[in-house]
Structure 1
Amino acid sequence: MTHFITRRTLVQSAVAFATAATLLAAPAAQAATQLRLAVPDPADSSVGQAASRFAALVSEKTDGEVSFQVFPDGILFGKDQNAAVNQLGSGALDGLILASSVYASFEPKMNAISLPYLFADYDQLQGYLSGEPGEDLLASLERFDIHGLGFFLRTFRNVTSRDTAITTAADFDGLTLRTPNNPLFVSLFDALGANPTPMAFSEVYSALQLKAIDGQENPVEVPLNNRFYEVQGHLNMTQHLADSFLLALSDAAWDKIPQEFHAAVQAAADEMILEHDAQEIAQEAEIIAQLEAQGMQVNRFAEGELAKVQEIARGIYPQFEDQIGADFMQMSIAFTAQN
């Protein structure tokens, strides 16, 4: 959805014989602030809809004085997500919504969000993203000249597989699973005994179809939207890892917004995030039901097996302590233990 700024025009004198000089003497109209917001996914995707909702709320809360035009499909940054972060910091992009895991290439502390089994449920994840840890992560972007407005969640990632139902820790043994090219993902599945295989997402369906890999892992909307149910028999509710999206502006764009509207723009971000998170969580159950209707078997860990998987997964934390930072990692673990 695209939002355009309505410019206020000079009001002509009610007197029919008003002269041009009178019009020139009238107060000048205040120019509205127009900004562009880039997202990596299609306009009708969850991220695209979140961007459009934010844009609508900004327009509403600033009476049209500030607006964002949404550009989907990564067209403003050539679909190069790392380049997008650089462009945001330089001011070449006004605004950007991108996964926090992409930002981890620039700020390693962002990897903490994706530590496997750090969060027991969505309440913990939301509390973390909106609480002190999330504020710390937003502040860490300031050195890149990026102004973070907030995080919104993605649903937990789950493993799909062709023939194997994953209900025990041992069921991972020998499975060839596609993962993103991220050391944290690879280390997790290696520790679980699987064969993690980094691969471009565009290649995943054909690799599953040709049986070059046994499965993949993603939030549940991915196998639905990409028809993986045609080549995968099992949806395994492993819920092994979290991710989030970050809504941010360049410092240059934030400075373009008149000070009087800063609070309104932040309020628009906060409201969108609350709405989006509630919707995402509610839709997860509906998507699982749709995958079942398409013939996928939904599996959950047998009693006592989740604890075994969690113990193995948390065993990789020390590998990433230096990268994330020991203090922030301990802060993250302590936060989830207390909330």
Structure 2
Amino acid sequence: MTFNITRRALTRGLAALAIATTALTGLAQGALAETSLRMAVPDPAGSSVGRAATRFAELVAEKTGGEVTVEVFPDGVLFGGDQNAAVNQLGSGALDGLILASSVYASFEPKMNAISLPYLFSDYDQLKAYLGGEPGDELLASLDRFGIHGLGFFLRTFRDVTTKDRAITKAEDFKGLTLRTPNNPLFVALFQALGANPTPMAFSEVYTALQLGAIEGQENPVEVPYNNKFAEVQGQLNITQHLADSFLVALSNNAWQSIPEAHRDAVQQAADEMIAEHDAEEIAAEQEIIAKLKEQGMQVNHFADGELARVQEIARGIYPQFEAQIGAEFMQKSLDFVKK
């Protein structure tokens, strides 16, 4: 009798143990199924790129049922503010994800310079079609050799020049202007052709350099002087719209491979949806930001009649300098695309 009772107890105990083991295994598998990625962005969380990264993270979590999560790290904290180093870290897998300007990637893949050929695009519809079409796909594919998986581009509004007190309304107004540019040969060549004194400088140094008078101006999409309070040290907003730039949303190949195959399409869809939303918001916000900068005391200047055409002619004169870098075939493909 005692043996039978013990045996039944043992059976019940083994059954309970089996149930517990199954539950624990299920929990462990659930924990292992979740892929957590860290995405670095160069700007503050409230900036355009910061908001885009946050929205991407929301959409990834939504579309994967929380199985893939993205944590956003703003202000360049994961790469010490060194944007070229960030690209290297992404390629090596030290960074999982990165949103960074395509003009920075041009130091690694010269084809990216095609996006920023001055006055290439006549409007934002043309720019969106380029980034989301065959040329953009070719640029994304060109990053594979660096260990980078590109998810897509979202546009930045066209770049404008701010200055302390010099209004730019004609081509001659660029003469002798000490202007901060990114460390990109195309940007430097453009402003040299216009007669300015381009001065490559890390963005983290720009406000202080403007404040101290080491440089007279800078050029960026209007949301940059607005978010970084440049109206405190710059009095003139010159609507030059001289070239386009974009932000590239990318993961390291290691991070991409770490995402379960069943969720990769969802992550790509999250990127596509965020990009479409962001582009519409960015374009709509441009005029609002210009109005806000004007309220903060900046004078808004436009080219005088006939001067835009003069500036465009000078600017497009630098195209041949970059044909070899960009590649004659891809450059011609880009020129043909915008002529359609």
Match of 2:333 in 1: 331
Alignment pair present for 1:221 and 2:218: no
- Given that 2:109 and 2:142 are in contact with CA atoms closer than 8 Å, whether structure 1 keeps it comes out as yes
Match of 1:66 in 2: 68
Letter aligned with residue 20 of structure 1: L
Alignment pair present for 1:236 and 2:238: yes
Match of 1:317 in 2: 319
Residue 180 of structure 1 deviates from its aligned partner by: 2.0
Distance (whole Å) between structure 1 residues aligned to residue 93 and residue 212 of structure 2: 44
Larger radius of gyration: 2
Residue 266 of structure 1 deviates from its aligned partner by: 0.6
Can you list the C-alpha shifts for 1:31-53, whole angstroms capped at 9, x where unaligned?
22222212222222221211111
Give the direction of change, closer, same or farther, for the CA distance of 1:109–1:146 in structure 2 (3 Å limit): same
Give the direction of change, closer, same or farther, for the CA distance of 1:75–1:163 in structure 2 (3 Å limit): closer
Give the number of equivalent residue pairs.
324
Can you list the C-alpha shifts for 1:172-214, whole angstroms capped at 9, x where unaligned?
2222222222211111111112222223333333333343433
Residue 170 of structure 1 deviates from its aligned partner by: 1.9
Distance (whole Å) between structure 2 residues aligned to residue 110 and residue 166 of structure 1: 28
**Deviating more after overlay: 84-93 vs 305-314:** 84-93
Output aligned runs, 1:105-124, within 5 Å: 105-124=107-126
Distance (whole Å) between structure 1 residues aligned to residue 40 and residue 269 of structure 2: 20
- Given that 2:39 and 2:95 are in contact with CA atoms closer than 8 Å, whether structure 1 keeps it comes out as yes
Distance (whole Å) between structure 2 residues aligned to residue 96 and residue 199 of structure 1: 21
Letter aligned with residue 227 of structure 1: K
Match of 2:195 in 1: 193
Q: SS of the residue aligned with 2:108?
A: coil
Q: Which one of the candidate residues 16, 19, 33 is aligned to 1:19?
A: 16
Give the direction of change, closer, same or farther, for the CA distance of 1:204–1:249 in structure 2 (3 Å limit): closer
Q: SS of the residue aligned with 1:295?
A: coil
Match of 1:277 in 2: 279
Residue 78 of structure 1 deviates from its aligned partner by: 2.5
Distance (whole Å) between structure 2 residues aligned to residue 112 and residue 186 of structure 1: 15
Identity value in percent = 75
Q: TM-score, normalised by structure 1?
A: 0.90
Alignment pair present for 1:137 and 2:122: no
Distance (whole Å) between structure 1 residues aligned to residue 138 and residue 224 of structure 2: 30
Q: TM-score, normalised by structure 2?
A: 0.90
Residue 20 of structure 1 deviates from its aligned partner by: 1.9
Q: CA RMSD in A?
A: 2.0
| Structure having the larger proportion of residues in helix | 2
Alignment pair present for 1:260 and 2:262: yes
Structure 2, gaps ≥5 residues long? 1-11
